[in-house]
Chain A
């Protein structure tokens, strides 16, 4: 443990706490914030082994993944709300 620098130590703490946080939280937006923390840890570990080009590619792909998850969450939420509203109305209409 004595020949490690500061960046790998911080990134390791980010990875472990982010992984526990994604599993333990139950609201999807909280889970996505914790996923951002986990990806911060992964980028730090990639940089600390000097793969700088892969770090650039990875940090460009991270907001794309986040935006896809957020758009999907909004669509999913509106679908569930619409299903609940129809579920109350539809038997009345079909009678």
Chain B
């Protein structure tokens, strides 16, 4: 194990626990964004080939798309509830 992977892993573990324990819905999305940064960096440090870099880029952009949709729906359903 490298020292860099241990630091990134500690940050990711903290983010997972804070997503699980947070009450507010909007602040869960902020922690989820930080977690996807960590996982994207871990994928690139684990695979160590150009295909791993492509995987990290595709994963990060699609996870951003998904959290964009969740935030839009929270704003829309605030008026209905």
How far does the alpha carbon of A77 sit from the alpha carbon of B81 in the complex, in Å? 9
Flag A1-21 by CB within 8 Å of B: 1 or 0 each: 000011101110110010011
Interface size on B, residues (CB 8 A): 42
How far does the alpha carbon of A6 sit from the alpha carbon of B43 in the complex, in Å? 10
6 smallest beta-carbon distances between A and B, as pairs: A63-B66, A6-B9, A6-B5, A59-B59, A70-B73, A63-B65
Q: Using Cβ atoms and an 8 Å threshold, which residues of chain A touch B47?
A: 47, 50, 52
Q: Known: A47-B43, A63-B62. Contact between A37 and B32, CB under 8 A? A: yes
How far does the alpha carbon of A75 sit from the alpha carbon of B28 in the complex, in Å? 24
Is A60 a contact of B42 with CB atoms below 8 Å?
no
Given contacts A47-B46, A63-B63, 9 further A-B contacts (CB under 8 A): A5-B1, A10-B9, A17-B16, A37-B32, A59-B63, A62-B62, A70-B69, A77-B80, A77-B81
- Residues of B bordering A, CB below 8 Å: 1, 5-6, 8-9, 12-13, 16-17, 19-20, 25, 28-29, 32, 35-36, 38-39, 42-43, 46-47, 51-52, 54-55, 58-59, 62-63, 65-67, 69-70, 73-74, 76-77, 80-81
How far does the alpha carbon of A47 sit from the alpha carbon of B52 in the complex, in Å? 9
Min CB distance A13 to B, Å, is: 6
